[in-house]
Structure 1
Amino acid sequence: MSSPEHKQKIWSLIKDIKTGMLTTKHGEELRSRPMVLVQDEYDGTLWFYTDLESEKVFEVEGDNDVCVTFSDTENHVYVSLTGVGRTTDDKSLIEKYWNPFVSAWFPDGKDSPNVGMLEIKVEKGEHWNSDSSKMVKLVKTAKAKAKNEQPDLGENEKFGTK
């Protein structure tokens, strides 16, 4: 697992992106779909609302290894987080994270019979952060190629276990 400082770093990278692509396993196929974060801080767990009757819930129940990726192409930030997913209908969690955006997906409100939370306990991940423009990247890549070296295109770090 990562340190409190590293968790803060991950949060600083993903908090403004908000929408991640959740990948689950459907039989032998990998499937991804957008999911919106609902939390205001990150402690190693990601929270999303979900319809408890949705296909992704059945996929997580069948194989709880999941991956969530975040991408901010404008600022050249990319984060991939892998962990274990589970669903819950815990009313205190539903209440804690409820917001007007979520109500659009659950017209019957917090008491909708299918409203639930998807919890992802992050075990490992990787992030890339390059504040360089395309032109700077092209120049760095060309220089590195001329020197038969790998270009330095910004920060890249792997973390976690498993």
Structure 2
Amino acid sequence: MSSPEHKQKIWQLIKKINTGMLTTHHGGELRARPMVLVQDEYDGTLWFYTDLESEKVLELEQDHDICLSFADPDSQTYVSLTGTGRATRDKKLIDKYWNSFVAAWFPQGKESPNVGMLEIKIKRGEHWDSSSSKMVNSIKTMKARLTGEQPELGEHEKFGTAGKN
């Protein structure tokens, strides 16, 4: 797993993006859908509201493995996280993260029989973060092509149980 400092770094990257694409297994296929962050900090677990009767919950019951990706092309920030997911009807968590955005999806409120949370435990991942503009990155890429070297386009790091670069 990653260090507390690295978890903070990942959180700083993904909280600005706010919406990630959650990929689950459906039979022999992969399915992705957008999910919005609801928490204020990250400790290795991400929480999302869900409809407990949704297909993603059924998919997670059959296969807990997930991939969650965040992308902000404007800032050239990309994060890919893998781990496991499960659904829960934990009332304390539902109360803790409830907000007006979530309420729009559950008109019956917190007491809706199908409101629940997805618990996503992150095992590993990687991120790419470039502070350079697209134009600067294009110039670096062209220079690298001419010199036969790889372009240095910013920070790229792997973390978690899969090991580091």
Using structure 1 for the length normalisation, give the TM-score: 0.98
Matched, 1:93 2:93: yes
Distance apart, 1:136 and its partner CA: 0.8
Distance apart, 1:135 and its partner CA: 1.4
The residue type paired with residue 109 of structure 2 is: G
Distance apart, 1:133 and its partner CA: 1.4
Task: Indicate the residue corresponding to 2:13 in structure 1.
Answer: 13
Task: Indicate the residue corresponding to 1:83 in structure 2.
Answer: 83
Task: Indicate the residue corresponding to 2:57 in structure 1.
Answer: 57
- Percent of pairs with identical residues: 73
Where structure 1 has 5 or more consecutive residues not aligned to the other structure, the ranges are none
The residue type paired with residue 72 of structure 2 is: D
Using structure 2 for the length normalisation, give the TM-score: 0.96
Q: How many residues align?
A: 162
Moved over 2 A (4+): none
Quote the Cα distance in structure 2 between the aligned partners of 1:106 and 1:135: 43
Quote the Cα distance in structure 2 between the aligned partners of 1:51 and 1:94: 12
Where structure 2 has 5 or more consecutive residues not aligned to the other structure, the ranges are none
Post-superposition Cα deviations, 1:64-115, rounded to whole Å, max 9, x if no partner, equal 0001100111111000110010110010110011001000000000000000
Question: RMSD of the alignment, in Å?
Answer: 0.7
Quote the Cα distance in structure 2 between the aligned partners of 1:134 and 1:97: 36
Task: Indicate the residue corresponding to 1:148 in structure 2.
Answer: 148
Post-superposition Cα deviations, 1:132-159, rounded to whole Å, max 9, x if no partner, equal 1121111111111111111001100000
Quote the Cα distance in structure 2 between the aligned partners of 1:11 and 1:65: 21
Matched, 1:114 2:114: yes
Matched, 1:36 2:36: yes
